[in-house]
Amino acid sequence: GAGVSQSPSNKVTEKGKDVELRCDPISGHTALYWYRQSLGQGLEFLIYFQGNSAPDKSGLPSDRFSAERTGGSVSTLTIQRTQQEDSAVYLCASSEGQRSNEQFFGPGTRLTVL
């Protein structure tokens, strides 16, 4: 069956530009998570969506970062006025619901800010 997909797989942008990263979760999964993974580092939580509830934005590092989830399915992570320190792999994961423990990860989007 189809897993979590993310696009693009790689994105190179210039400092100051805006970027949009897309995540398609597993069909029927109500929970969706965004993480950031810097080179050789662990997973940094960014934002969490659960059904129609207000998202948990507690991990967003600055107001340049935002995310939305349309129709309870596809999610877009937007980074405005990108900085070099934003360079990282952005991972999306989904799970069946808030109380479901297993998260299924997508392959990630590698963002490089020049």
Partner 1 sequence: QQQVKQSPQSLIVQKGGISIINCAYENTAFDYFPWYQQFPGKGPALLIAIRPDVSEKKEGRFTISFNKSAKQFSLHIMDSQPGDSATYFCAAKNSWGKLQFGAGTQVVVTP
Q: Which residues contact partner 1 by CB under 8 A?
A: 4, 33, 40-43, 45, 48, 56, 91, 93, 98-99, 101-108
Residue 58 CB, nearest distance to partner 1 (Å)? 9
**Residue placing its CB nearer to partner 1 in the complex, 33 or 65:** 33
Q: Which of 112, 113, 99 is nearest to 9 (CA)?
A: 112
Residue 16 CB, nearest distance to partner 1 (Å)? 28
**Residue placing its CB nearer to partner 1 in the complex, 17 or 57:** 57
Q: How far apart are CA 6 and CA 22, in angstroms?
A: 6
Q: For residues 55-72, b (16+ Cβ closer than 10 Å) or e, as one string?
A: beeeebeeeebebebeee
